[in-house]
């Protein structure tokens, strides 16, 4: 019997045994590796005498192919067996009862931000965002806040380095600067987000939320600002009429500046918005100071506009009857379950904001 036939018979019978993948791989190396038996036979072709050479080569190729095929199908067999074994082991009993499905709730602050965005988008504002970690320039300097301004005080601002270059933004107003540096006027944006100040009691939290508004165009005046805020307050509290007053105030980044109060009264221990003799401050606003526009290279002869900053948490508390600001950030599941909103009930102006 020729060598080739011997190799073939020996290995075909080996491949009939039960083998692991690594054992089959070993067989492969024994046959077809650099010093493998079949590889060595191939090297002998040139030594075979000319009359038999062709026959030898044909026979060798046939054996090679047969062995290769057998090895491939053996590997297939082993892999299939492994999969079948796994399937049997990991069988799931679908007759088991399912676990109860617990639905999450949307936090009142997130809900309020969605409502505010929806109301402003209706009159052409788009939404911008800025980072919580700001630099001193965007947060103060560019907003015309002088070096000695009390807002820069260490007692109010969380600085992140000794040089007071980086800080946690104390308001959303730096997004005005970022937006105006990035694009060309006109601008009509709101920027909701987290803000930080070193303060903590029943009505102050070191992290709170604001929404900034900015409208810069060619003929914008204080009347537009009043109209816009009046529309917003009525839509937000879902009432037809609201008592509002603009009180003169001061902010470095607006001139003139105003604070806005809304009327309210307390009936049966509940706050009723829009009626009564009492006033509640809800936002700051004004016409953007020319120095701010100059800092972002906007021509103040052509463009001017208004800005406003609204405290979101307070609005949420008023609208949804929540009386301690700190409860927002306690992460109490029972509280969230009570005050939270259905995730599938996205607020829109058409369907109603909050239901």
Per-residue binding letters, 60-79, with ligand DAH (x by CB under 6 A): --------------------
- Identify the three-state secondary structure at position 59: helix
Question: Does residue 170 contact residue 195 with C-beta atoms inside 8 Å?
Answer: yes
Shorter beta-carbon distance to ligand DAH: residue 286 or 347: 286
Provide the minimum distance between the beta carbon of 169 and ligand DAH in the complex, in angstroms, as a whole number: 10
Looking from the CA of 187 toward its CB, the CA atoms found within 13 Å total 30
Mask for 268-307, x = binds ligand DAH (CB under 6 A): ----------------xxx--------------------x
Q: Do the Cβ atoms of 283 and 195 come closer than 8 Å? A: no
Residue number, 56 or 140, with CB nearest to ligand DAH: 140
**Which of 198, 168, 197, 192 is closest to 118 using CA atoms?**
192
Shortest distance, position 251 Cβ to ligand DAH, whole Å? 4
Q: What are the tokens at 125? A: 């504002």
Select the residue interacting with ligand DAH from 41, 134, 212, 313 (CB under 6 A): 212
With CB under 6 A as the contact rule, the residue among 111, 157, 173, 179 that binds ligand DAH is 173
Task: Tell me the C-alpha to C-alpha distance, in Å, between residue 293 and each of 17, 49, 221.
Answer: 85, 97, 15
Q: Which of 8, 70, 169, 171 binds ligand DAH (CB under 6 A)?
A: 171
Q: Which helix (H) or strand (E) holds 315?
A: helix 312-320
- CB contact at 8 A, 282 and 264: no
**Window 16-55: contact mask with ligand DAH (x via CB under 6 A):** ----------------------------------------
Which DSSP state fits 330?
S
Q: Are 231 and 194 in contact (CB under 8 A)?
A: no
Residue 192 or 286: the one with the smaller Cβ distance to ligand DAH is 286
- Considering the complex, state which of residue 42 and residue 246 has its C-beta at the smaller distance from ligand DAH: 246
Q: CA separation (Å) from 13 to 7, 67, 215? A: 10, 11, 85
Q: State how beta strands 254-267 and 133-135 pair.
A: unpaired
Binding mask 81-110 for ligand DAH (x = CB under 6 A): ------------------------------
Of 108 and 286, nearer to ligand DAH (C-beta) is 286
Closest CB 275 distance from ligand DAH, rounded Å: 26
Among 108, 130, 309, 347, binds ligand DAH (CB under 6 A): 309
Pick between residue 157 and residue 254 the one whose CB is nearest to ligand DAH: 254
Residue of minimal CB distance from ligand DAH? 309
Query: x-or-dash pattern for ligand DAH, window 234-273, by CB under 6 A?
Result: -----------------x--x-------------------
Per-position DSSP letters for 221-284, written without gaps between them: -HHHHHHHHHHHHHHHHT-S---EEEEEEEETTEEEEEEEEEEEEEETTEEEET-SSEEEEEEE
Query: With respect to ligand DAH, which residue has the nearer C-beta, 273 or 292?
Result: 292
Shortest Å, Cβ 97 to ligand DAH? 53
What's the min distance (Å) between Cβ of 195 and ligand DAH? 7
Helix (H, G, I), strand (E, B) or coil at 21: helix
Question: Which of 257, 221, 228 has the alpha carbon at shortest distance from 244?
Answer: 228
Rounded to the nearest whole angstrom, what is the least distance from the CB of residue 221 to ligand DAH in the complex?
Answer: 14
Q: Which residues contact 345 (CB under 8 A, 6 or more apart)?
A: 355
152 near ligand DAH (CB under 6 A): no
Is 289 in contact with 252 (CB distance < 8 Å)?
yes
Residue 228 sits at φ, ψ, to 5 deg, of: -65, -45
CB atoms within 10 A of CB 21: 12
Among 338, 312, 337, 334, residue whose Cα is nearest residue 325: 312
Binding site for ligand DAH (CB under 6 A): 171, 173, 212, 251, 254, 284-286, 307-309
């Amino acid at each position: 019997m020729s060598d080739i036939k011997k190799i073939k018979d020996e290995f075909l019978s080996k491949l009939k045994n039960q083998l692991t993948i690594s054992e089959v791989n070993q067989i492969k190396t024994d046959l077809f590796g650099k010093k493998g038996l079949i590889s060595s036979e191939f090297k002998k072709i040139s030594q075979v005498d000319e009359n038999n050479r062709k026959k030898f080569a044909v026979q060798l190729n046939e054996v090679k192919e047969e062995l290769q095929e057998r090895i491939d199908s053996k590997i297939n067999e082993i892999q299939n067996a492994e999969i079948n074994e796994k399937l049997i082991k990991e069988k799931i009993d679908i007759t088991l009862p399912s676990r109860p499905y617990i639905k999450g709730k949307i936090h009142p602050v997130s809900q309020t931000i969605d409502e505010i965005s929806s109301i402003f988008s209706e009159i052409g504002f788009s939404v911008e965002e800025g980072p919580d970690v700001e630099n001193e320039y965007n947060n103060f300097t560019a907003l015309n806040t002088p070096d000695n301004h009390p807002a820069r005080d260490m007692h109010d601002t969380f600085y992140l380095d000794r040089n007071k270059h980086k800080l946690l933004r104390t308001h959303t107003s730096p997004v005005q600067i970022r937006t105006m540096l990035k694009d060309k006027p006109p601008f009509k944006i709101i920027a909701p987000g987290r803000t930080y100040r070193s303060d903590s009691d029943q009505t102050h939290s070191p992290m709170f939320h604001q929404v900034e508004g900015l409208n810069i165009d060619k003929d914008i005046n204080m009347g537009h600002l009043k109209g816009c805020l009046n529309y917003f307050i009525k839509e937000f509290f879902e009432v037809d009429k609201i008592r509002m007053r603009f009180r003169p105030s001061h902010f470095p980044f607006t001139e003139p500046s105003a604070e806005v109060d809304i009327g309210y009264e307390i009936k049966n221990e509940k706050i009723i918005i829009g009626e009564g003799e009492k006033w509640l401050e809800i936002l700051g606003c004004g016409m953007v100071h020319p120095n701010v526009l100059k800092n972002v290279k906007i021509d103040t002869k052509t463009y001017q506009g208004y800005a406003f900053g609204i405290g979101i948490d307070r609005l949420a508390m008023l609208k949804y009857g929540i009386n301690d600001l700190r409860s927002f950030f306690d992460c109490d599941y029972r509280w969230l379950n009570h005050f939270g909103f259905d995730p599938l009930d996205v607020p829109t102006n058409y369907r109603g904001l909050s239901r």
